[in-house]
Amino acid sequence: MPPSRRTYAPPEPSGARLLDPPVVPGPGSGSIEALVDNNRLLRAALDVRIGDMRLWELVAATRREVLMVAAEYTGHYRDVTRPADVADWIARPIIVGGHQPELFHPGVWLKNSALDAYARQVGGTAINLVVDTDRCGRVTVPVPVGTPASARTEEVPFDAFSGESAWEERSVVDADCFATFGDRASDLLEPLVPRPILRRWWPLAVERARASHRLGLGLAQARHMLEERFGLETLELPVSEMVRLPTVMVFVGWLLAHARKLHEAYNDALAIYRRERRVRGRGRPMPDLLVRHDSDGEWIELPWWMWSRDDLRRRRVFANTSTPGMLVLSDMETLRVELPIAADTSPSTWIDALSRMEEHAVRLRPRAIVTPLIARLLLADVFVHGIGGAAYDGITDEIVRRLVGSDPPRHAVVSGTLRLPLEGVFPELERDDPAAGLAAAQALVRDIRFHPERHLTAPAAASEQVRELIAAKRRWIDTHPTLTLSARRCREIRSINVQLAALLDGERAATEGRSVRFAEAVKARTVLRARDHAWCLFPENMVKTFLLLENGAGPA
């Protein structure tokens, strides 16, 4: 029976954090130690064969490979200390998280700090997976400008747009645009935040992008080097490198060998998610996997992306299993790959087939659901999600249950809220409440329309004509709305309201003007107080204080 699920929401106050379990457990709260122990028991119960190995054997081999490769990758750009006792290193808990290599907001960055804090608490290793297999569809950063009366975000490009492609394929297109982004964005932000971390940090991002020849890895490595300066001890590994590891290829091969079962489990899990949460529409939270037919027979969609070095557009993957001992993958457009992958072929054959596909520059990369599934089953003692990932990981859980018949290891959830420090520049940002002013102005406009007599000043109300109109309105209100009189009663009251409201045109126009100004202020406040501004727009000391978790913050 699946465990009951909490519903998480980001904390509202600036500086607030949500960590479940807390770094330092309090009364009635869980602990990372208990979660690690529970997850190891759950994984031990996953009695499934992956090729010619038990799952636990594949897990041990994967942990060794990932630790070694992550340490080697991270060691290329920052100091890494490898324990002398490798067997003990592999046996210790591994805490894993992951995110795209973009300029995310501080609440996302808090996950990386939590990885470090959790790993310290259990004497283990923290690994952040750089999800460079996801799409890089945006090369601008929204920078807030303006005042509490009228603010907006201005999109500042850090590179030229060259079409959508995966981060792992994306190099810097416009070197000058990339090199000058830090100063351009900082100059624009300076009236609000005089010393953002961006100006000092961006040259490091330029250096790492040049060294790695990849835009996303440059951003991720520069951010990781800053974490080292903050005292965080984590390893990083791009997902594109993880899926090339032989042990991970074995697991991917096993999933592909059970393509139909995976296809059905995925769609069934989505159906359960929608039913339990009363979600309407088959496209939410993500579309079902499709089934197509052509002259070769039936093609079932699988939760991977596919592209080639000649065409970097990510496309959906369809599988044809009609030929015994063979799996045909296609994007149903131009790509078609025949792989000797089936339930009765050996894992070494799976590795060889997937490796040859890589050598021929055809990429097969997991979608969002499959990436944490691999990490949670093969690598992590605890996987750390943000709120969004936690909401959808129930789908992953159900897929695992249908594939192996047991509950998967459970995850931690971390998020936080940090808002730009604008109170010194705009004290009224915290003091004023334009939403309340807008509501009051809109209520007054409505009241003038439907109850104008309440707002007439003494001279106007003393007019004999006005007194007669008010008296007539009162008589019509007191008249019982019979079938024959109800329509006329409504018309007469409306007509009197229009006549009386005409005497208040000046007040109504002034109130509508205030309403417009209040609405602009509400929008401006939303822009200035948003929690999703990129972390590099904040002052260094502020974001560093937010990330450090010695205070043992717990769940909201």
pLDDT tier, 390 (very low <50, low <70, confident <90, very high otherwise): confident
Judged against a pLDDT cut of 50, whether residue 369 lies above it is answered with: yes
More confident residue, 4 or 185: 185
CA distance linking residue 179 with residue 174, whole number of Å: 9
CA distance linking residue 420 with residue 537, whole number of Å: 8
More confident residue, 207 or 43: 207
| Mean pLDDT in residue range 355-377 | 95
C-alpha pair distances (Å), 483 with each of 260, 472, 474, 478, 490: 65, 20, 19, 15, 12
Q: Name residue, tokens 């109850």.
A: 451
CA distance linking residue 3 with residue 179, whole number of Å: 49
Q: Which residues of 494-506 are buried (b: 16+ CB within 10 A; e: fewer)?
A: eebbeebbebbee
**Closest to 256 measured CA to CA, from 373, 146, 339:** 339
Segment 72-100, tens digit of pLDDT: 999 999 999 899 999 999 999 999 999 99
Segment 316-329, tens digit of pLDDT: 999 999 999 999 99
**Closest to 152 measured CA to CA, from 548, 527, 473:** 527
Outline where 405-504 has alpha helix (H).
428-431, 434-450, 458-461, 464-478, 486-502
Outline where 76-189 has alpha helix (H).
86-91, 106-122, 175-189
Helix (H) / strand (E) containing 211: helix 197-212
Identify the pLDDT of residue 550: 54
Identify the pLDDT of residue 344: 92
| Mean pLDDT in residue range 247-253 | 97
Helix (H) / strand (E) containing 14: none
Identify the pLDDT of residue 459: 73
Outline where 24-102 has alpha helix (H).
32-44, 55-75, 86-91
CA distance linking residue 214 with residue 219, whole number of Å: 9
**Closest to 267 measured CA to CA, from 301, 222, 223, 311:** 301
**Closest to 32 measured CA to CA, from 106, 116, 107, 109:** 116
Identify the pLDDT of residue 267: 96
CA distance linking residue 36 with residue 384, whole number of Å: 12
Rg (CA), the chain: 30
Mean of the per-residue pLDDT values of the chain: 93
Angle, helices 259-277/246-257, rounded to nearest 10 degrees: 80
Identify the pLDDT of residue 513: 95
Straight-line distance from the first to the last Cα atom of the chain, in angstroms, rounded to the nearest whole number: 26
Residue spans per domain, the chain: 428-528
Identify the pLDDT of residue 5: 62
Identify the pLDDT of residue 501: 92
Judged against a pLDDT cut of 90, whether residue 283 lies above it is answered with: no
Residue 130, Cα to own-chain centre: how many angstroms? 14
DSSP three-state, residue 412: strand
Identify the pLDDT of residue 1: 40
